[in-house]
Amino acid sequence: MKDRRRQGTVRLNYTKLLALIRTVDSLIIVLSLELAIRLVNQTLDTWYVLNDGHRYCALAGVLLFQFFADYYEVYYAWRGASQDNESVRLGWSWFCAMAAIMALLACFKSGVELSLFVTAAWFCVSFLALILVHELGRGWLAFLRRRGLNSRRVVIAGANDLGARLAGAFAAMPWLGYCFAGYYDDRGFQQGRRLACPERLYGGDFNTLVQRARDGEIDEIFIAMPMRSEQRVAELMNLLSDTTASVYYVPDVFVFNLVRSRLDMVQGIPCITVHGSPFKHQPVDGFLKRAEDVVLSFAILALIAVPMVLIATAVKLDSPGPVLFKQKRYGMSGEPIEVWKFRTMTVQENGATVTQATRNDARITRLGGFLRRYSLDELPQFINVLQGRMSIVGPRPHAVAHNEYYRKQINGYMLRHTIKPGITGLAQINGCRGETDTLDKMERRVVYDLEYISHWQVWLDLKIIFLTIFRVAHDPNAY
């Protein structure tokens, strides 16, 4: 039978450990407020400085942090998540909690005095302490695993590309405590069949795997086999049910074009979201995205109001026609929206055929060339953002005629519309602007758009906005 010492006590007492971690995090938040007030008010010699109002703030901080920590899955599990990833999730949880506290204090006259300096000190001290404690916890677990405690002897059933990818993940994260013991597959090397693993890591066929699992030599088994092998997977799982090993099935969903995939439960039935919006099942993310759009759009429109009036006047004087060009495009979920731009051409194409602008296009007005060069024609779209039609950052909307063409040419093209279109995006800061005279240019845009959707975060939006300011003005593809 397997060595119980190697399994350790952490796994057997995981729920108790989790409760301890939550308690420590809550104490950090309360004590950090105490320390912040002491540091700012220079009352280090006083035994206790929290008044009733501060206690309410501390309690709100604990409750809100625990809520957002659950949302960002801080306590889901330490195995499988990198240190940087956990630090980011901790940071967002505490930031959202502090933002909610500030909003509550601003909306309700509670009489609680919490100065800007105390707030900043509370945020910084708590954040640093939370990171430090969680890093110490990781270090303690790493120490136990180096001594052979709290480790797992794991194997992979399926010597294929998916299995190799999983083994690579184990190797890249040694703090998991997974001791990889090899691959098992019915297709042996002696049969002359090529397996996606070196022969030294081949442990044998499935009968050997089952026997070793029965003997207690294996803790966890990851079945990484293609979906077409349903019968083989079912037979193997049936045999492994006679063992005490933990068995995990790794579905080969990477054969699909995954966009913001996640696991959902419908009446206890697990369902994997292959294509989906990052905001459909994450209302907090949707709220943050909309709040970001509203706040930044108001601020930007306040700054550009006078320049927009001057541009509108110049457009009217430069050539006959309306100031604004309004074109039908696809918005979120493929619903038609009306996008506004300053008119830069002598024509207003908005039908079944829309000809893209080319370099030295005769249809572009004298002023229009300047506006397009520096993307000044896009400024009215901040009004579209406030209307809820668009977002500041997202996939650029294309004319309906172009959408209908490219959706037939590029696989996954319409997945761009799982979120609101944007004024700028990841594709634009990577040089994807101007005419798409070849299919590969549009394919490159789609790749960036889907990457953005898959990895959306508020900080990514802020980064794209910052880079747009500097890169768009020097983009040779803008005309």
The closest alpha carbon to 250, from 156, 151, 154, belongs to 156
Are 300 and 407 in a shared domain? Answer: yes
Q: Does the pLDDT of residue 1 top 70, yes or no?
A: no
> Which one of 146, 180, 212 terminates a domain?
146
Q: Which CATH number do you get for residue 201?
A: 3.40.50.720
The pLDDT of residue 11 is: 47
The closest alpha carbon to 424, from 400, 455, 390, belongs to 390
Query: Where does the pLDDT of residue 10 fall: very low under 50, low under 70, confident under 90, or very high at 90 and above?
Result: very low
The pLDDT of residue 350 is: 60
Residue 109, domain extent: 4-146
pTM, entire model: 0.63
Are 53 and 185 in a shared domain? Answer: no
Are 339 and 466 in a shared domain? Answer: yes
The closest alpha carbon to 211, from 155, 152, 150, 148, belongs to 155
Sign of the alpha-carbon dihedral angle for 114, 92, 275, 436: positive
Q: Does the pLDDT of residue 96 top 50, yes or no?
A: yes
Are 125 and 243 in a shared domain? Answer: no
For all residues of the chain together, what is the average pLDDT? 81
Residue-wise pLDDT tens digits, 257-275: 556 666 666 666 666 666 6
Q: Of 70-84, 263-277, 383-397, which one has max mean pLDDT?
A: 383-397
Whether 86 maps to a domain, the answer reads yes
Whether 354 maps to a domain, the answer reads yes
Are 167 and 242 in a shared domain? Answer: yes
Are 136 and 215 in a shared domain? Answer: no
Are 161 and 65 in a shared domain? Answer: no
Q: Of 2-11, 14-23, 252-261, 304-313, which one has max mean pLDDT?
A: 304-313
Of the ranges 38-52, 104-118, 126-140, 324-338, which one carries the lowest mean pLDDT score?
38-52
Whether 277 maps to a domain, the answer reads no
> Which one of 146, 168, 201 terminates a domain?
146
Q: Does the pLDDT of residue 128 top 50, yes or no?
A: yes
Are 342 and 226 in a shared domain? Answer: no
Residue-wise pLDDT tens digits, 24-53: 999 999 999 888 888 877 665 555 556 667
Query: Where does the pLDDT of residue 356 fall: very low under 50, low under 70, confident under 90, or very high at 90 and above?
Result: low
Query: Where does the pLDDT of residue 83 fall: very low under 50, low under 70, confident under 90, or very high at 90 and above?
Result: low
Amino acid at 217: E
C-alpha 178/C-alpha 79 separation (Å) is 9
> How far, CA to CA in Å, does 30 sit from each of 26, 185, 452, 461?
7, 53, 37, 32
The closest alpha carbon to 428, from 387, 467, 372, belongs to 467
Q: Does the pLDDT of residue 9 top 60, yes or no?
A: no
Q: What percent of the chain has pLDDT over 70?
A: 76
C-alpha 453/C-alpha 278 separation (Å) is 7
Are 198 and 240 in a shared domain? Answer: yes
Are 178 and 245 in a shared domain? Answer: yes
Overall average pLDDT of the 312-320 stretch: 90
Joined tokens for residue 24: 């420590």
> Which one of 84, 116, 146 terminates a domain?
146
Sign of the alpha-carbon dihedral angle for 274, 280, 284, 286: positive
Sign of the alpha-carbon dihedral angle for 51, 57, 63, 66: negative
Residue-wise pLDDT tens digits, 286-311: 888 999 999 999 999 999 999 999 99
Joined tokens for residue 393: 């950052």
C-alpha 156/C-alpha 18 separation (Å) is 28
The pLDDT of residue 94 is: 92
For β-strands 336-342 and 152-157, DSSP reports them as unpaired
Q: Does the pLDDT of residue 385 top 70, yes or no?
A: yes
C-alpha 439/C-alpha 445 separation (Å) is 10
Query: Where does the pLDDT of residue 473 fall: very low under 50, low under 70, confident under 90, or very high at 90 and above?
Result: low
Which of 355 and 381 is assigned the larger pLDDT?
A: 381
Torsion of CA 301, 307, 312, 314, to 10 degrees: -170
Q: What percent of the chain has pLDDT over 90?
A: 27
Q: Does the pLDDT of residue 402 top 90, yes or no?
A: no
Structural domain total, the chain: 3
C-alpha 325/C-alpha 371 separation (Å) is 13
Are 457 and 342 in a shared domain? Answer: yes
Are 309 and 452 in a shared domain? Answer: yes
Whether 272 maps to a domain, the answer reads no
Q: Is 462 exposed, middle or buried (0-12, 13-18, 19+ CB in 10 A)?
A: middle
Whether 271 maps to a domain, the answer reads no
